[in-house]
Amino acid sequence: MNRRHFTAFATLAPLVGFWPGAQAATEPVVLVLGDSLSAEYGLRRGSGWVALLSAQLAQERRALRVVNASVSGDTTSGGRSRLPALLAQHRPAVLVLELGGNDALRGLPLEMTRANLAAMARAGREAGARVLLLGMEMPPNYGARYAADFRRVFTDVARQEATGLVPFFLRGVADGPNPVALFQADRIHPNEQAQAQMRDNVWPELRKLLPRR
């Protein structure tokens, strides 16, 4: 290999991972699989709760890498279909499941939502990840019975699949003293001001599942 070829190889190799001794990132991964609530819908990039969580982990000097695989509009069926490839690619230490709200908004059967969440939790565990389920609740206009049944989907899956659980991901946002101030104009998606509260709702339960320092 002449000098010109060696120089070109040395310049490109670190970028593509071929340089002798180069290694892929080895930090344990926290994989977030969610919908628009986690995908920064309508927000400045880097201002959502997942980005705030990543910043908090860095501030606490925890050697963890947060991967946000959330897609706006996703359902539990969509997440279930995407999850196997994500698990194979990232091999997460912790899997955070933030899905189910769009199922309810689309009137999908609760049994389907329950089965999909359970399947994702099992897949995560079988891949070696600890699993955290973020529970959601429906507004009162959906009816008391439906709201209770929907809430129970998350508690049932968490119990049956031995996952961590945040009972209500939007606690202090959707049920706060002035919820209108914490939502975007569509009254569905929390605004930037609400993101720290959402991170704080997740953090206590997530912390229990993180690898030891």
Query: Which residues have a catalytic role annotated?
Result: 36, 186, 189
- CA gap 172, 179 in Å, rounded: 8
Greatest alpha-carbon span in the chain = 75
Please answer whether residues 29 and 67 qualify as being in contact, where contact means their C-beta atoms are separated by less than 8 angstroms: yes
Torsion of CA 87, 24, 32, 119, to 10 degrees: 10
Phi, psi (deg, nearest 5) at residue 187: 65, 15
Please answer whether residues 115 and 109 qualify as being in contact, where contact means their C-beta atoms are separated by less than 8 angstroms: no
Q: Which of 57, 159, 146 is nearest to 167 (CA)?
A: 159
Burial of 158 (0-12, 13-18, 19+ CB in 10 A): buried
Please answer whether residues 125 and 157 qualify as being in contact, where contact means their C-beta atoms are separated by less than 8 angstroms: no
Output the CA–CA distances (angstroms, integers) from residue 213 to 119, 141, 201, in the order listed. 30, 45, 22
